[in-house]
């Protein structure tokens, strides 16, 4: 049942809605803090609502398109909501809504700047998600890069500035590389930058060498955001420096924007057949495997919680790359589903880290003894997500791991399973001690018969901090059990996979 593509202004509305927050902040920068910030939240909620309104149509296989501008003949800015774009858009607008709610309580200075740039970033990212061709994607992607800079340096400490600076260096170099990729792509594909389900390039359009150059230029360009290993340098600095909701978004969504670009390149520009003919997948797979293992090992050595989480993110985003590189149905399914799964899990973990920071001021894991008694709900949610990251069933992490493993078997390469299991083992090694320290140690437990702290539920933190954490932790399990519910990642990603394979 091929869906129909129809004109719709809804994508544009979704992109413009976050600007409401911006307008409100600009109009009444000194107005009541409550009203201002809650309007920002409502803006992101409305955006989510608008995105959700497209769900039934998308599940029917329709797509929605609107042309924004035409730069030159054949090169236009166009938004098209196809299933993949919609999937990413849904994930990001959902996480954004929760992060905005969280920020209302979390951000305590210069909140106007933070909320304004947050809204702007959401708008740009939605534009990138809904982009119908590489040109549009590039524009929004670069805008998002600059929009997210103020989020990273928000604390304005020396560390934050340095991290933001590093981020800019990396992102701008990546943008340049990406630009050359797009120019080459534009030239060799005969001016066709659009995303097609079977790819637009073929061996007929250019020689092998050129196609491979284009591919690797793209990979290098998007690889910076997706934190593929030699290009990951900015991630472990930016995450701890940014305020927690921003790190949740960085890890949950912005890193994924890079991965999303790679998905687009692999399946919608090159296409499965060409990928197979060029045997490009091996390089991707090797890079992904190295990243997964090395990042997990680095995570093990970190004592700063957010830095550990950041390294973990580097490894986990490469799950997506690994899934793509398998070029099998289950691999692609697992990889693409991991995009949402990881956003849920890591979003929750970073938000938990934020609660810990706000309530106890502790950043280092070694200082967190007995924190589970102080912040029981937060740490229970943290534990749930940490176990999910290890791939413990029933959770979204297990679903990804299972599908990736199944995809590896389909590809006839069980060696990937070894990588997945090593990664799971390492993530157990760096996540379980946190749970252990939080719940089974306490201050002064070296002395025999020391007084154990009392567990007190409720009243641990502001509801605005706790609610997003709990929602994400519940989703980690719920999405991991009722995988096939329409609107959950599986329903959307199977559609994509069925089309491209």
Partner 1 sequence: MEVEKTTELVFSILPTLALGLPILGAAAAAFAGERRARLRNWLVVASSGLTLLVAILMLARVFSSGTVYFNLDIMRIGDRFVGNLEVDALGAFFAFFAAVVWFAASLHAFKYMDHEQKRTRFFFFMLLTEAATLGVFMVQDFFTLYLFFEAMGLMAYVLVVHSETAKARAAATKYIVMTIIGGLSLLAGIFLYLGYSGTIGFVPPVESVWLTGSFKVVALACLIAGFGVKAGMVPLHVWLPDAHPAAPSPASALLSGVMIKVGAYGILRTVLTFFQQPPLHEAEGHVVETASHAAEGAAHGAAQGVAHGASSLATNVQTLGLIIIGFAVLTMFVGMILALVQRDIKRTLAYSSVSQMGYILFGVGCLGFLGAEGGMGMGGSLYHIMNHAFFKGCFFLAAGAIVFCAHELDMFKLGGLWRRMPITTIFWSISALGIMGIVFFNGFVSKTLLHHAILESHVLAESGHLASAGWIKAAEIIFIITSGGTIAYITKMTYYTFFRRPRKEDAGHIEHVKEAPLWMLAGMGILAAGVLFNGLFPGLLLGKLIAPTVETVHGLDPELVEHMANTHIFIWANIKEIMVPLAIGISIFILGAWPDLFGLKRRGPDIFAMRLPRWLGVDYWYVRVARASLALPFMGHRAYEPVKDQVVKGMKAGAGGTVQLVRDVIYPSLTSKPLGWVRENSLQLYGDARSRLMPRLREYQGDIAVGALVIAVSLTMFLIMKLL
Residue tagged 């437990």 (tokens): 445
Per CB under 8 A, 52 contacts partner 1: no
CA distances to 198, 259, 310, 420 from 288, in Å: 24, 11, 16, 11
Per CB under 8 A, 389 contacts partner 1: no
Binding residue (CB under 8 A) for partner 1 from 191, 440, 443, 487: 440
**Binding pattern to partner 1, positions 252-291, x when CB under 8 A?**
----------------------------------------
Query: Do 403 and 334 form a contact (C-beta atoms < 8 A)?
Result: yes
* Cα–Cα distance measured from residue 274 to residue 272, given in angstroms and rounded to the nearest whole number: 6
* Cα–Cα distance measured from residue 269 to residue 184, given in angstroms and rounded to the nearest whole number: 13
Per CB under 8 A, 406 contacts partner 1: yes
CA distances to 161, 350, 366, 378, 460 from 443, in Å: 34, 24, 11, 19, 18
What the block records as the tokens of 85 is: 């774009």
* Cα–Cα distance measured from residue 99 to residue 101, given in angstroms and rounded to the nearest whole number: 5
Per CB under 8 A, 195 contacts partner 1: no
- In the bound complex, what is the minimum distance in angstroms from residue 69's beta carbon to partner 1? 12
Per CB under 8 A, 28 contacts partner 1: no
Per CB under 8 A, 198 contacts partner 1: no
Per CB under 8 A, 436 contacts partner 1: yes
Per CB under 8 A, 411 contacts partner 1: yes
Tell me the window of 164-172, 217-225, 318-326, 462-470 that interacts with partner 1 (CB under 8 A): 164-172
Per CB under 8 A, 345 contacts partner 1: no
Tell me the window of 102-110, 143-151, 272-280, 403-411 that interacts with partner 1 (CB under 8 A): 403-411
390, burial (CB in 10 Å: exposed 0-12, middle 13-18, buried 19+): buried
What the block records as the tokens of 173 is: 């170099």
- In the bound complex, what is the minimum distance in angstroms from residue 23's beta carbon to partner 1? 28
- In the bound complex, what is the minimum distance in angstroms from residue 424's beta carbon to partner 1? 6
By residue count, the chain amounts to 501
- In the bound complex, what is the minimum distance in angstroms from residue 88's beta carbon to partner 1? 21
Backbone angles phi and psi of 49, in degrees to 5? -60, -45
Residue tagged 């997706």 (tokens): 226
Residue 427, C-beta contacts closer than 8 angstroms, at least 6 positions apart: 296, 299, 312, 315, 389, 390, 391
Residues in binding contact with partner 1, number by CB under 8 A: 52
Beta-bridge mates of residue 81: 64
Per CB under 8 A, 456 contacts partner 1: no
Binding residue (CB under 8 A) for partner 1 from 172, 212, 357, 467: 172
> Site residues (CB under 8 A) for partner 1?
71-72, 165, 168-169, 172-173, 175-176, 179-180, 297-298, 300-301, 387, 390-394, 398-399, 401-403, 405-406, 408-412, 414, 417-418, 421, 424-425, 428-429, 432, 436, 440, 445, 448, 452, 481, 483-484, 490, 494
């Amino acid at each position: 049942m091929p869906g129909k593509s129809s004109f719709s202004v809804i994508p544009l509305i979704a992109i413009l809605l976050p600007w409401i927050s911006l307008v409100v902040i600009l109009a009444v920068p000194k107005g009541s803090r409550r009203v201002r910030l809650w309007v920002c939240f409502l803006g992101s909620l409305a955006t989510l609502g608008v995105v959700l309104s497209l769900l039934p149509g998308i599940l029917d296989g329709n797509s929605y398109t609107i042309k924004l501008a035409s730069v030159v003949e054949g090169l236009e800015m166009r938004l098209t909501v196809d299933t993949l774009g919609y999937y990413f858009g849904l994930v990001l607008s959902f996480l954004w809504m929760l992060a905005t709610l969280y920020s209302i309580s979390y951000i305590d200075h210069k909140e106007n700047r933070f909320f304004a740039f947050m809204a702007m970033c959401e708008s740009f990212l939605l534009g990138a998600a809904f982009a119908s061709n590489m040109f549009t994607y590039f524009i929004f992607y670069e805008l998002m890069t600059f929009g997210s800079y103020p989020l990273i340096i928000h604390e304005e400490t020396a560390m934050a500035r340095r991290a933001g600076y590093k981020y800019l260096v990396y992102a701008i170099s990546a943008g340049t590389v990406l630009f050359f990729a797009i120019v080459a792509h534009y030239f060799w594909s005969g001016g066709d930058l659009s995303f097609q389900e079977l790819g637009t390039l073929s061996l007929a359009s250019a020689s092998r060498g050129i196609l491979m150059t284009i591919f690797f230029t793209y990979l290098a360009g998007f690889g910076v955001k997706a934190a593929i290993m030699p290009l990951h340098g900015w991630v472990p600095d930016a995450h701890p420096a940014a305020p927690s909701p921003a790190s949740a978004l960085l890890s949950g969504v912005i890193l994924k924007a890079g991965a999303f670009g790679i998905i687009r390149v692999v399946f919608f520009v090159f296409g499965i057949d060409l990928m197979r003919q060029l045997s490009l997948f091996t390089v991707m797979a090797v890079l992904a495997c190295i990243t997964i293992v090395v990042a997990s090992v680095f995570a093990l050595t970190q004592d700063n919680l957010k830095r550990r989480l950041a390294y973990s993110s580097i490894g986990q985003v490469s799950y997506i790359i690994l899934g793509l590189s398998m070029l099998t149905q289950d691999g692609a399914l697992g990889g693409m589903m991991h995009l949402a799964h990881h956003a849920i899990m890591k979003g929750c973990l970073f938000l938990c880290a934020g609660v810990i920071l706000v309530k106890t001021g502790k950043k280092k894991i070694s200082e967190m003894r007995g924190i589970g008694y102080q912040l029981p709900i937060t740490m229970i949610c943290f534990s749930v997500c940490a176990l999910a990251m290890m791939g413990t069933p029933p959770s979204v992490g297990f679903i990804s791991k299972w599908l990736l493993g199944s995809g590896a078997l389909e590809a006839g390469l069980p060696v990937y399973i070894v990588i997945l299991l090593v990664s799971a083992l390492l993530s157990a090694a760096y996540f379980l001690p946190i749970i252990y320290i939080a719940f089974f140690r306490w201050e002064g437990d070296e002395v025999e018969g020391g007084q154990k702290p009392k567990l007190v539920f409720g009243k641990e933190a502001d509801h605005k901090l706790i609610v997003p954490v709990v929602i994400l932790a519940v989703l980690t399990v719920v999405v991991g059990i009722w995988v096939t519910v329409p609107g959950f990642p599986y329903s959307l990603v199977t559609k994509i996979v069925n089309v491209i394979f």
